[in-house]
Amino acid sequence: MNVIEAINPRRSIRQYTGEVINDEQLKILLRAGFQAPSAHNFQPQEYIVIKDSKTLELIAERHKYAKALPLAGCGIVVCGDLDKESREGSLIADCSASIQNILLAVHGLDLGAVWIGLHPVKEFSEIISEILDIPEHVIPIGIVAVGHPDVQKEAINRYNEEKIHKEKW
């Protein structure tokens, strides 16, 4: 699949067959995360892989927008280490680049995923930090719920000329 073919039809998937992704697929997804750019190349991204069904259920119980997680069977929590990148804005950008890379790699593997937001909603990031024993200097930015899709979603064309400014605003 070429990169444009991966970007344009990608959609958030929240319905899964229940089959858990294998280690080879997981490694490809993590590799895609690691390949993301980061400001100053500080590479502050860290990853927590969750496959334990009890943990996935606990997160879904406590995070109202994470209901897809248990059936997905795998969650990749993308975190940013403030000791490596002290500017929070850059940390968020770096982790978001990793999350997007993972989402596209998921699509390339014919798997399905959804980005579950954590930071900056304190309620959500604190729940995850507590459940996963994340240290103070590490901010969980988002979770990629990933699994085998049980639904096909139509591609949406969001291209909008009105939002494109030529040379100046």
Ligand X SMILES: Cc1cc2nc3c(=O)[nH]c(=O)nc-3n(C[C@H](O)[C@H](O)[C@H](O)COP(=O)(O)O)c2cc1C
For residue 56, the SS3 value is: helix
For the chain, the straight-line distance linking the first and the last C-alpha, in angstroms and rounded, comes to 35
Residues in the chain: 169
Q: How many CB atoms lie within 10 A of CB 146?
A: 30
Nearer to ligand X, 34 or 65 (CB): 65
Rounded Cα distance, 140 and 151, in Å = 28
Name the segment binding ligand X (CB under 6 A); options: 21-29, 34-42, 85-93, 110-118: 110-118
If one asks whether residue 11 binds ligand X (CB under 6 A), the answer comes out as yes
CB-CB contact of 96 with 141 (8 Å): yes
Name the segment binding ligand X (CB under 6 A); options: 31-39, 52-60, 74-82, 111-119: 111-119
If one asks whether residue 116 binds ligand X (CB under 6 A), the answer comes out as yes
Q: How many CB atoms lie within 10 A of CB 158?
A: 7
Name the segment binding ligand X (CB under 6 A); options: 8-16, 50-58, 70-78, 84-92: 8-16
If one asks whether residue 12 binds ligand X (CB under 6 A), the answer comes out as yes
Nearer to ligand X, 83 or 156 (CB): 156
If one asks whether residue 114 binds ligand X (CB under 6 A), the answer comes out as yes
Q: Within positions 47 to 106, which residues make up the interface with ligand X, using CB under 6 A? A: 65, 68
Name the segment binding ligand X (CB under 6 A); options: 19-27, 36-44, 109-117, 131-139: 109-117
Question: Three-class SS string for 121-132?
Answer: CHHHHHHHHHHH
Q: Within positions 119 to 148, which residues make up the interface with ligand X, using CB under 6 A? A: none
For residue 83, the SS3 value is: coil
Residues lying near ligand X in the complex (CB under 6 A) are found at 11-12, 14, 65, 68, 114-117
